Amino acid sequence: MIHLLQQKGAVVQYHDPFIQRFKQDGWEMESVSDLMQTVRLADVIVIVTNHSSYDYEAILKESALIVDTRNALGELGKKNPRVVRL
């Protein structure tokens, strides 16, 4: 999926406190170092893993749009128009 988005011109980045870098099918990605700066600049944030170390309230405050696939935002995201819950 990431590769398809990149082929369409999207800039795809990720942050994970446990996986600093990964390789897949001949391409490699490295976790961004400054999570909150990346959040502020992103058009959309997609939450695919619910890590307890993240300050989800701060992420929500600084995000333009969040797709929350893990219900990581819980009650914070329930009625927020900037949150899409899957």
CB 78 within 8 A of CB 56: no
Average pLDDT over residues 64-80: 96
Distance of CA 57 to the CA centre of its chain: 14
pTM above 0.75, yes or no: yes
Domain containing 78 equals 2-85
pLDDT tens, residue by residue, 23-65: 988 888 999 999 999 999 999 999 999 999 999 999 999 999 9
* Domain count across the chain: 1
Average pLDDT, rounded, for the chain: 93
- Confidence band, pLDDT 50/70/90 cuts, at residue 5: confident
Return d(Cα 56, Cα 9) in angstroms, integer.
28
